[in-house]
Amino acid sequence: MRVAVTGGSGFIGKCVVDHIRARGWEPIAPTRRDWRLGALLPPACDETDAVIHLASAVLRAKTNINAASALDLQATSLLLEQHRDLKRAGKRKKFIFVSSQSAREGARNNYGKCKWAIECLLEQEDEIVVRPGLVYDSKGSSVFGLFSALVKLPVVPVLSQKPCIQPIEVHELADALLRIVAAEQPQRCYKLGAPAALTFTEMIQAVAKRTGRRPPLGLPFPAMPVRLAAALLDFGLRFSPPLLERIDGLLAVRPMDTQKSLRALDMTLESLVGGFNEPLF
């Protein structure tokens, strides 16, 4: 198998590339010297069995997120056209787009809106959407890093108590993506994350347990003042991705039925605090 990976130097991309090599397959992950989002993939990606599309301008944007969203949409449309041309020539089998749990029509956050718009572009049988829940690792990267920082505080504002956070470890997501690459008859959409959704408080408690810390005190708090404070911090500190975008992303997610997808891939996910099918608390 030869698999092209966009965003291969990112948090998820690096792990995916490592898993491809570990399987004895050949990863082709164009660097920024070879390829930029918004251009066709280089010729080295033509003779591949699949493309796993992870690259995103929105994730890296500090300002002008609308322009970054437009770039993501235009760039993916171009890659899909290239994929369809290559498939007609017998050179490509699958295009796998890694979306988000927050992706839906009318999503609150820019990332979710952009991912939904891109999902709507994927129309053919070999064009596959993967919606992961909150992706975590041992280093507290990506949005999971926000929870890793929050558990260090004595008090944490609780904006919502809806059970909607469904974690998946980054190596498990990489494994799932390669199982989809290898599948003879893949589903059109995979929803990947813990089958039992966690509330914000349960997530904080799980991360605290995982890191050996005492959970902070959670206090119910209106979302608007927290969002305003996040916007001010973003303006002064230029977080990437913006802190407000991360908060809105958490507020935007809705529970997913992940069991069908996990059964299709013959996968059982490890719990956030270790062990398979182990209660978190």
What distance in Å separates the CA atoms of residue 137 and residue 140, rounded to the nearest whole number?
A: 6
Residue 272 has pLDDT above 90, yes or no: no
CB-facing half-sphere around the CA of 274: CA atoms within 13 A: 6
pLDDT at residue 142 in the model: 63
pLDDT at residue 66 in the model: 85
pLDDT at residue 76 in the model: 98
Q: If 0-12 CB within 10 Å is exposed, 13-18 middle and 19+ buried, where does residue 58 land?
A: buried
Q: For 140-197, how does the pLDDT look when each residue is reduced to its tens digit (9 = 90+)?
A: 666 677 788 888 999 998 888 888 999 999 999 999 999 999 999 999 999 999 999 9
**SS3 of residue 180 by DSSP:** helix
Cis check for the bond before 241: say yes or no (omega within 30 of 0).
yes
Residue 281 has pLDDT above 60, yes or no: no
Q: For the residues 39-61, what does the mean pLDDT come to?
A: 92
Residue 241 has pLDDT above 80, yes or no: no
Q: How many CB atoms lie within 10 A of CB 168?
A: 23
Residue 233 has pLDDT above 50, yes or no: yes
Q: For the residues 54-58, what does the mean pLDDT come to?
A: 92
Q: How confident is the prediction for the chain on average, in pLDDT? A: 88
* Residue 68 main-chain phi, psi, to 5 deg: -65, -40
Q: Which amino acid is at 235?
A: F
Q: For 2-36, how does the pLDDT look when each residue is reduced to its tens digit (9 = 90+)?
A: 999 999 999 999 999 999 999 999 999 999 889 99
Q: For 194-229, how does the pLDDT look when each residue is reduced to its tens digit (9 = 90+)?
A: 999 999 899 999 989 888 889 999 998 888 887 788
pLDDT at residue 149 in the model: 85
pLDDT at residue 100 in the model: 94
pLDDT at residue 139 in the model: 74
Domains identified in the chain and CATH numbers: 2-264 (3.40.50.720)
pLDDT at residue 48 in the model: 96
Q: What angle do CA 117, 188, 195 make, to 5 degrees?
A: 90
Least Cα distance to 207 among 135, 276, 258, 140 occurs for 140
What distance in Å separates the CA atoms of residue 174 and residue 136, rounded to the nearest whole number?
A: 12
Model confidence at 275, pLDDT cuts 50, 70, 90, reads very low
Q: What angle do CA 57, 59, 64 make, to 5 degrees?
A: 65
pLDDT at residue 141 in the model: 63
pLDDT at residue 225 in the model: 82
pLDDT at residue 212 in the model: 86
Residue 236 has pLDDT above 50, yes or no: yes
Q: For the residues 248-272, what does the mean pLDDT come to?
A: 90
SS (H, E, C) the chain: CEEEEECCCCHHHHHHHHHHHHCCCEEECCCCCCCCECECCCHHHCCCCEEEECCCCHHHCCCCHHHHHHHHHHHHHHHHHHHHHHHHCCCCCEEEEECCCCCCCCCCCHHHHHHHHHHCCCCCCCEEEEEECCEECCCCCCCHHHHHHHCCCCEEEECCCCCCECCEEHHHHHHHHHHHHHCCCCCCEEEECCCCCECHHHHHHHHHHHHCCCCCEEEECCHHHHHHHHHHHHHHHCCCCCHHHHHHHHHHCCCCCCHHHHHHCCCCCECCCCCECCCCC
